[in-house]
């Protein structure tokens, strides 16, 4: 026996080299660590087998020259794959482009598989479609199709996870024009030792399937899982590999679902499609503004209607606010559907420039309908809801509000004011509270015509202090607002 404990004359089997690969960014490390040095994520390093040999350079062997072509070609473009589901076609830019790849992500149970099966059934009326599931058996897919009422659609179903078998099936002259992979995290390549769902498997599986789709010219849709932060699981490079990235948003207990495009090489990004979950699956909502305002009752304090822009369409939603005296040392701020940092900024401007005392109160803000708003044009609507909740005076009835607020208290104009006012007028709103510069910056004649014809009463404000005058309570001594005291209120009190 040797001094290391091995029998003399025997060869020691070397331990196979391993790497630790981050499941968030794909970076590799020689040893495990709690935090990835590249992206800063915690507990994402997973052990994977190292390659047999390090990648080498090109060497002396020359490659063949590639052929360059001009921007303008003589080949006619193939028509887009139009599904007939208006909201889905809107988000994809008018239909799916042949040879393109789409990635659809969303929370578990939000309805991704239901929507993809409806898309396949609708498109299968005009061209062959295949639905390949790595999570469900064919009988389970048939049960869902019967529940949705699309069991008679000629969709080709399969349950498989081997990318080699799937690629061989799709790379055929009689292959489908649309292939749906549900989900990409369940696919695997047999020449990789890592488990399905790891960075190497997801990246390599998607690359092989995208290569087949571009060579054959069929549209490819990946369904992807999401992390607890709401991002698509797997390497970030997966979103760079595909042509379109769609996020399916919404609360599981709410009937509304939002399909949002965050990347689209063949259409506008930030476009949204609105669906409603019903007993027969997802039904498209043609007029989301009317649906978001359907449950709106009589005018109440703390509620303001915001005319926003989502993608290329105007959408009207109700912003609700509630302020109550706080019993805690640190007042609570609860925000749903908007940026909490933006709310803190609007509250600070109201308190510093208008003298509205909001600091000691608990503030709750909610965007009704489950929609998430990100544009700065909602600042003025949020300020109106805050002032209304604090002064206990409702927003003027039949009014929509939009505008951006600056730190000095000025109200700035926003883009596409004419489209916002047109949508509000179509839904019966008779008044608009907008920035003073809007009419000069909007399309000539549109806003002015509506104001002149009496269709909509325009109230223009240039400073945030002017907004408080709309919520003034009648008083025997002074018509000033009673929402709070401060420098701005003191200036109004003395003329």
* In the block, residue with structure tokens 């544009």: 375
Q: How far is CA 122 from the centre of its chain?
A: 24
Residue 482 pLDDT more than 80? no
- Compute the distance between CA of residue 122 and CA of residue 480 in angstroms, rounded to an integer: 60
Answer whether residue 484 is part of any domain. yes
On the question of pLDDT at 481 being above 60, the answer is: no
Q: How many beta carbons lie within 10 A of that of residue 469, not counting itself?
A: 12
Could you give the number of structural domains in the chain? 3
The answer to whether the CB of 393 falls within 8 A of the CB of 471 is yes
Q: Which of 240, 257, 286 is the last residue before a domain boundary?
A: 286
Asked whether residue 67 is assigned to any structural domain, the reply reads no
CB neighbours of 168 closer than 8 A, spacing ≥ 6? none
Give the model confidence (pLDDT) of 341-355 as tens digits: 999 999 999 999 998
Q: Is residue 182 part of a domain?
A: yes
Name the least confident of 64-73, 120-129, 230-239, 439-448.
439-448
| Residue where a domain stops, chosen among 260, 286, 312 | 286
Alpha helix segments (H runs only) across 152-198? 163-170
Looking at the fold, whether 427 and 483 belong to one and the same domain comes out as: yes
Tens of pLDDT, residue by residue over 190-244, are 988 888 888 889 989 999 999 999 999 999 999 988 876 666 766 677 888 999 9
Res 71 pLDDT > 90: no
pLDDT in tens, 413-432: 999 898 999 889 888 888 99
Q: Are residues 245 and 120 in the same domain?
A: yes
Give the span between the Cα atoms of 67 and 5, in whole angstroms.
Answer: 63
User: Is 369 inside a domain boundary?
Assistant: yes
pLDDT for the residue numbered 142: 95
The predicted model scores a pTM of 0.74
Short-list 230, 213, 23, 6, CA closest to 99: 213
Please tell me which of 116-130, 413-427, 431-445 the model is most confident about, judged by mean pLDDT: 116-130
Got the DSSP string for 429-479? Answer: --EEEEETTHHHHSSTTHHHHHHHTTSSEEEEESBHHHHHHTTPPP-SS--
Q: Would you say residue 462 lies in a domain?
A: yes
Whether residue 188 is contained in a domain is answered as yes
Q: Cβ(238)–Cβ(96) under 8 Å?
A: no
C-alpha–C-alpha distance, residues 105 and 249, integer Å: 9
List the CATH number of the domain containing 277: 3.40.50.300
Q: Going by DSSP bridges, is the β-strand pair 457-461/431-435 parallel, antiparallel, or unpaired?
A: parallel
Q: What is the pLDDT of residues 289-307, one digit of tens each?
A: 877 786 666 778 999 999 9
DSSP code at position 232: B
Determine the pLDDT at residue 11. Answer: 53
Domain boundary among 254, 286, 318: 286
Same domain for 178 and 29: no
Domain limits at 194? Answer: 86-286
Determine the Cα angle at 99 with ends 97 and 102, to 5°. Answer: 70
**92-96, 295-299, 338-342, 462-466: range with lowest mean pLDDT:** 295-299
- Over range 46-56, report the average pLDDT: 64
* pLDDT cut 90: percent of the chain above it: 47
Tokens 């030792």 sit on residue:
193
Same domain, 177 and 257: yes
């Amino acid at each position: 026996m040797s001094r290391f404990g091995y029998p003399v004359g025997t060869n020691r089997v070397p331990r196979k080299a391993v790497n630790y690969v981050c499941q968030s960014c794909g970076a590799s490390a020689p040893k495990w660590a709690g935090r990835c040095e590249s992206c800063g994520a915690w507990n994402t390093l997973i052990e994977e087998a190292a390659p047999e040999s390090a990648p080498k350079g090109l060497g002396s062997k020359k490659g063949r020259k590639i052929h360059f072509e001009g921007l303008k070609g003589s080949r006619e473009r193939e028509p887009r794959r139009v599904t007939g589901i208006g909201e889905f076609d809107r988000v994809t830019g008018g239909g799916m482009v042949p040879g393109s790849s789409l990635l659809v992500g969303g929370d578990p149970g939000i309805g991704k598989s239901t929507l993809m099966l409806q898309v396949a059934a609708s498109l299968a009326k005009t061209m062959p479609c295949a639905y390949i599931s790595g999570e469900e058996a064919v009988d389970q897919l048939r049960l869902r199709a019967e529940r949705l009422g699309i069991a008679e659609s000629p969709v080709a179903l399969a349950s498989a996870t081997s990318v080699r078998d799937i690629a061989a099936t799709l790379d055929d002259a009689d292959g489908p024009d649309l292939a749906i992979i549900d989900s990409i995290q369940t696919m695997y390549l047999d020449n990789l030792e890592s488990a399905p769902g790891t960075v190497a498997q997801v990246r390599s599986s998607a690359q092989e399937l995208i290569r087949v789709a571009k060579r054959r010219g069929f549209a490819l849709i990946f369904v992807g899982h999401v992390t607890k932060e709401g991002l698509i699981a797997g390497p970030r490079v997966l979103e760079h590999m595909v042509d379109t990235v769609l996020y399916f948003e919404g609360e599981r207990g709410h009937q509304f679902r939002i399909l949002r495009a965050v990347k689209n090489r063949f259409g506008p990004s930030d476009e949204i499609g609105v669906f409603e979950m019903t007993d027969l699956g997802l039904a498209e909502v043609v007029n989301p503004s009317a649906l978001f305002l359907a449950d709106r009752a009589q005018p109440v304090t703390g509620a303001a209607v915001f005319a926003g822009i989502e993608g290329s369409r105007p959408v009207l939603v109700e912003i609700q606010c509630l302020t109550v005296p706080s019993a805690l040392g640190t007042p609570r701020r609860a925000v749903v559907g908007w940026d909490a940092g933006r709310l803190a900024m609007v509250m600070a401007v109201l308190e510093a420039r208008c003298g509205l005392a909001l600091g000691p109160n608990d503030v709750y803000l909610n965007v009704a309908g489950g929609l998430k708003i990100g544009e700065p044009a909602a600042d003025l609507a949020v300020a109106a809801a805050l002032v209304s909740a604090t002064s206990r005076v409702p927003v003027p009835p039949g009014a929509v509000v939009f505008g951006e607020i600056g730190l000095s208290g000025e109200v700035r104009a926003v883009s596409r004011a004419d489209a916002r006012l047109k949508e509000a007028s179509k839904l019966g709103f008779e008044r608009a509270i907008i920035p003073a510069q809007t009419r000069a910056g909007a399309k000539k004649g549109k806003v002015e015509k509506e104001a002149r014809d009496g269709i909509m009463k325009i109230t223009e404000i240039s400073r945030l202090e002017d907004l408080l005058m709309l919520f003034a309570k009648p008083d025997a001594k002074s018509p000033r607002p009673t929402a709070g005291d401060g420098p701005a209120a003191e200036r109004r009190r003395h003329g």
